[in-house]
Amino acid sequence: RYARDDAGGRRYFLTDHLGSTTALSDSGGNVTARYSYSPYGDSSMTVLQGAAPTNSYQYTGRENDGAGLYYYRARYYSPGMRRFTQEDPLGLGDGPNPYAYVKDGPTMGTDPSGEFFTSVDVACARMPELCWNLLSEMTQARAGLERKLGNDCAANYWEAAADFAEAVRPLVLVAQIVPVRAVVELHHLLPQAKRFKNFFKRAQLDIEDFKIPLDRATHRLKPDGIHTRDGGDWNKVWDRFFEANPNATRDQIIRQLERMRRDFGI
């Protein structure tokens, strides 16, 4: 779990399915502050113990700049406007409104870098068993959480679980009828291989901001996983791109990524 230190001591983050900070707790499991959000990120904080925290990581895990905006790396987002304050670096590649936030589905998706939309429903539609198991674990965990963490902390966790359940409940029913290759792995859309490191570093791109869940077969197993020759060989496509574009800019790399996602169907 994640933690940060400030003048009030060490605080641990409790988050929901979007990565939004819903509470901070101390090392004893006592909730010291709670956060609540509107669907588009208008936030409020309630201090329960001690001094007000200086934590800026709030809605979807991004930094609140204190002036009503959130920093999403490539651009800023305004909860009040329900829009980004700058155009999409990809132009109209993600839709007709270059300022739109997560296709107007804020309870189902996030945009970690301001360039790349990813959604809870897409992951659950592709891997319903994963979501089904996760919901089951959340349900079974309630009593244990109350015993171990105390009612306040457990209640906060349960609220996050309920939000997640409401978002994906229609999709997990698919698990009953769709064959599922259940082992799930995280695919780095920007490859981890060392030969690519300098390209992404120069473009100020953090590969950890560009990951999606895939079942193992789709990810890397033969005959047609995306890292196999017959499946298109994801990293080889990047090799060819950088051979042709050794000084690729951030925007060029992001555009290439979007093309590859369409071509590979992920």
Distance CA 187, CA 96 (A): 28
Closest by Cα among 161, 164, 168, 165 to 146 = 161
Position with higher pLDDT, 210 vs 242: 242
Dump pLDDT digits (tens) for 12-51: 999 887 889 999 999 888 999 999 999 999 999 999 998 8
In a domain, 169, yes or no: no
Return the exposure string of 223-253: e unless at least 16 CB atoms fall within 10 Å of the residue's CB, then b.
Answer: eebbbeeebbebeebbeebbeeeeebebeeb
Q: Which pLDDT does position 116 carry in this prediction?
A: 78
Please, which residues have CB within 8 angstroms of residue 211's CB and are 6 or more apart in sequence? 186, 187, 188, 189
In a domain, 230, yes or no: yes
Count of domains observed in the chain: 1
In a domain, 165, yes or no: no
Per-residue pLDDT band at 129 (split at 50, 70, 90): low
In a domain, 242, yes or no: yes
Rounded to an integer, the average pLDDT of 58-66 is 94
Dump pLDDT digits (tens) for 161-195: 555 555 555 555 544 444 444 455 677 889 999 99
Per-residue pLDDT band at 222 (split at 50, 70, 90): low
Distance CA 253, CA 266 (A): 17
Distance CA 35, CA 24 (A): 9
In a domain, 116, yes or no: no
In a domain, 179, yes or no: no
Stated pTM of the model: 0.58
What proportion of the chain, given as a percentage, has pLDDT over 70?
73
In a domain, 53, yes or no: no
Write out the residue range of the structural domain in which residue 257 sits: 184-264
Q: Which pLDDT does position 178 carry in this prediction?
A: 45
In a domain, 93, yes or no: no
